[in-house]
Amino acid sequence: MPHTRTAHASDATLHQRRRPLTDAELDAIPWLHLLAPTDRERAVDDLRIAEAAPGEYMCRMGRPVTYWFGVIDGLLKMSTDNAEGQTMTFTGVPPGGWFGEGTALKRETYRYNIQALRKSLVAGLHVDTFHWLLDHSIAFNRFVMNQLNERLGQFIAAREIDRMTNPDIRVARSLASLFNPVLYPGVGEVLRITQQELAYLAGLSRQRVNEALNALEAQGFIKVEYGGLRVLDLQALRSKVFTRQLP
């Protein structure tokens, strides 16, 4: 994993804190059970995991790729900075999400930053093993192709969100992007996220996000629960025009 400055009291880097995964952590990886026994053994031997502190970076723009990453627990933010210093957030990465396959395929430098919004367990598969699996496993190839296809649609939606001026719709689309069963199978029916974390992802104030969530809940699209959100009508959150005008 790339060298980073951590928010821990210790000066150990994310790379230095890595360790093998437990059986429970391995069970949380969606592509691992698709592999043939020999391929799975190779992947398990190479996989490592580390706990990222809030604010810590897994990837930085301009750094060469070394790992393909996945979130076992927690929440990350994928963003980029332009020449004027403005930040554009592409998406959040909740549990079950693996990212960076396009960069790993081309073995190029990262064109985005990945930062932990809360304490997160992040797994990494070395890029050499990633390419070995591509060469040896049809099932792994299919998984990566599905990832790339879904990611393309996600980034197009992210650009749309960034141009939207209606805060309620920005929040709705940001939530919908986190409930993608292909990219984030670990989310399930309830997304563990705070209003402040959602504010970071939507590019809004926490107060404005609170107002949007109240409006969405009043229309029956979501249900705010302790420690997270339950989506009741995902299609409504994804649609360009709501069936009833949000206030």
User: Residue 173 — φ and ψ, nearest 5°?
Assistant: -65, -40
Give CA angle at 3 (144, 114), nearest 5°.
Answer: 45
CB 121 within 8 A of CB 72: yes
Q: Which of 48, 184, 178 is nearest to 123 (CA)?
A: 48
More confident residue, 201 or 128: 128
What is the torsion angle, in degrees rounded to the nearest 10, for the CA atoms of residue 166, residue 217, residue 72 and residue 92?
A: 0
pLDDT band for 113, please (50, 70, 90 cuts).
Answer: very high
Residues 198-205 have a mean pLDDT of 88
- Looking at residue 243, its pLDDT comes to 41
> What percent of the chain lies above the pLDDT cut of 70?
86
- The structure tokens 């670990």 sit at 186
> pLDDT tens digit string along 147-195?
998 887 776 666 666 666 688 888 988 888 888 888 888 887 788 898 9
Domain ranges, ordered by start, for the chain: 23-159, 166-238
CB 57 within 8 A of CB 115: yes
Asked whether residue 233 carries a pLDDT value surpassing 80, the answer given is yes
More confident residue, 160 or 1: 160
**Cα–Cα distance between 213 and 64 in angstroms, integer?**
39
- Looking at residue 2, its pLDDT comes to 40
What is the fold, at CATH topology level, of the domain defined by 166-238? Arc Repressor Mutant, subunit A (1.10.10)
pLDDT band for 20, please (50, 70, 90 cuts).
Answer: very high
pTM of the complete model: 0.80
> pLDDT tens digit string along 49-89?
999 999 999 999 999 999 999 999 999 998 887 767 667 77
Distant-in-sequence, close-in-space partners of 77: CB < 8 Å, separation ≥ 6: 89, 91, 92, 93, 114, 115, 116, 117, 200, 201
Most confident of 108-117, 128-137, 200-209: 128-137
- Looking at residue 144, its pLDDT comes to 95
- Looking at residue 159, its pLDDT comes to 65
Cα atoms found within 13 Å of the Cα of residue 6, Cβ hemisphere only: 19
Residues 202-225 have a mean pLDDT of 91
Residues 201-222 have a mean pLDDT of 91
- Looking at residue 47, its pLDDT comes to 98
Residues 99-109 have a mean pLDDT of 93
> What percent of the chain lies above the pLDDT cut of 90?
54
CB 94 within 8 A of CB 191: yes
- Looking at residue 134, its pLDDT comes to 97
- Looking at residue 51, its pLDDT comes to 96
**Cα–Cα distance between 186 and 45 in angstroms, integer?**
22
Task: Return the H-helix or E-strand segment holding 37.
Answer: helix 37-46
- Looking at residue 87, its pLDDT comes to 73
Domain spanning 23-159: which CATH class is it, in words? Answer: mainly beta
